[in-house]
Amino acid sequence: MRRELGRVDNWLEWLDEDKRKGEEGTYARHLLHASDDGAFAMMFLVWRPGQFSPVHGHKTWCVYKVLAGELTEEFYACAASGGVRRTGQRARRPGDVTTASAGISQIHRLGNGGEGVAISLHVYGVRAAEISTGVNIVMNELS
């Protein structure tokens, strides 16, 4: 899946121009395709400046590609006290393709720390109806 996602350069042609602006409050999700058998769903995520996901692991596998702008991926590890602690970060730029396995071995937070809109394409191993509840395992961050 990672290789296939990386091969295509014109994914943005499938996202209407008016949806590329994002939404107030939180990042926007736009379904591109869901397989008939429920094996996967593909979504565009549109991130305005300052919009981040919660710190999370995954209930399913995930592959994403940055299409426009720059995202920041922050990495976390489970702490002995029960929360999570930040261990690092990495810039994700257009063309970067990243994978995550199910579980809490790859806890992260993704978002737009820049000034312009960023857009990414995510593929999850869930049915379209499960995108909101069947993907993230939200973690408690230590203060």
Beta pairing partners, 42: 33, 123
58 is in an annotated binding site: yes
Please choose, from the candidates 90, 42, 98, 40, the residue with its C-alpha nearest in 3D space to the C-alpha of residue 66. Answer: 98
122 is in an annotated binding site: no
Neighbours of 62 (CB within 10 A): 22
Beta pairing partners, 136: 58
Neighbours of 50 (CB within 10 A): 10
The angle at the Cα of 25, spanning 22 to 31, to the nearest 5 degrees, equals 45
30 is in an annotated binding site: no
Bind-site residues = 56, 58, 108
Bind-site residues for Fe cation = 56, 58, 108
